[in-house]
Amino acid sequence: MHSSVYDVLPSNVRRSLAKFGNDIAIARRKRKLTIAMMAERIGVSKNTYVRVEKGNPSVSLGVYAMVLFALGLGDVLGDIVDPKSDEQGLIMDEQRLPIRVRVKKEPTRL
């Protein structure tokens, strides 16, 4: 059963979340951790953790952050929307630059 959030998500976002969940599952298996071990480490039920690996959008960001931390990937989350790597934002900033810069004249004092 899907949540109402799932129904309104664009298909590319749903695919990204599914890939994210699958990537988490692969990382867990590489570390030879069971679903029960991960659920215990991050303090959630096994059912919630299974939803993480499915990329369920109704799981809180905090749970995803704890999963990344438990896998040793905690720093990744802080870099997702780093302004220095926001190409669209950098292009927009460049487009806002003035074509010509003028210095305002100071009024003369008598």
Residue 102: inside a domain, yes or no? no
Residues with Cβ within 8 Å of 85's Cβ and at least 6 positions away in sequence, in order, are 79
In this predicted structure, what is the pLDDT of residue 2? 58
The answer to whether residue 43 is domain-embedded is yes
pLDDT of residue 85: 83
* pLDDT for 1 beyond 60: no
Instruction: Report whether 64 contacts 78 (CB < 8 A).
Output: no
- Mean local confidence (pLDDT), 65-78: 91
Sequence-separated (6 or more) residues with CB below 8 Å from residue 51: 58, 59
**Residue 30 within a domain:** yes
Provide the residue range defining the domain that includes 54.
4-95
Q: What angle do CA 48, 73, 29 make, to 5 degrees?
A: 60
Torsion (CA) 65, 66, 70, 74 in degrees, nearest 10:
30
Q: Per the domain annotation, does 105 fall within a domain? A: no
How much is the pTM?
A: 0.76
The whole-number pLDDT of residue 81 equals: 81
pLDDT for 82 equals 83
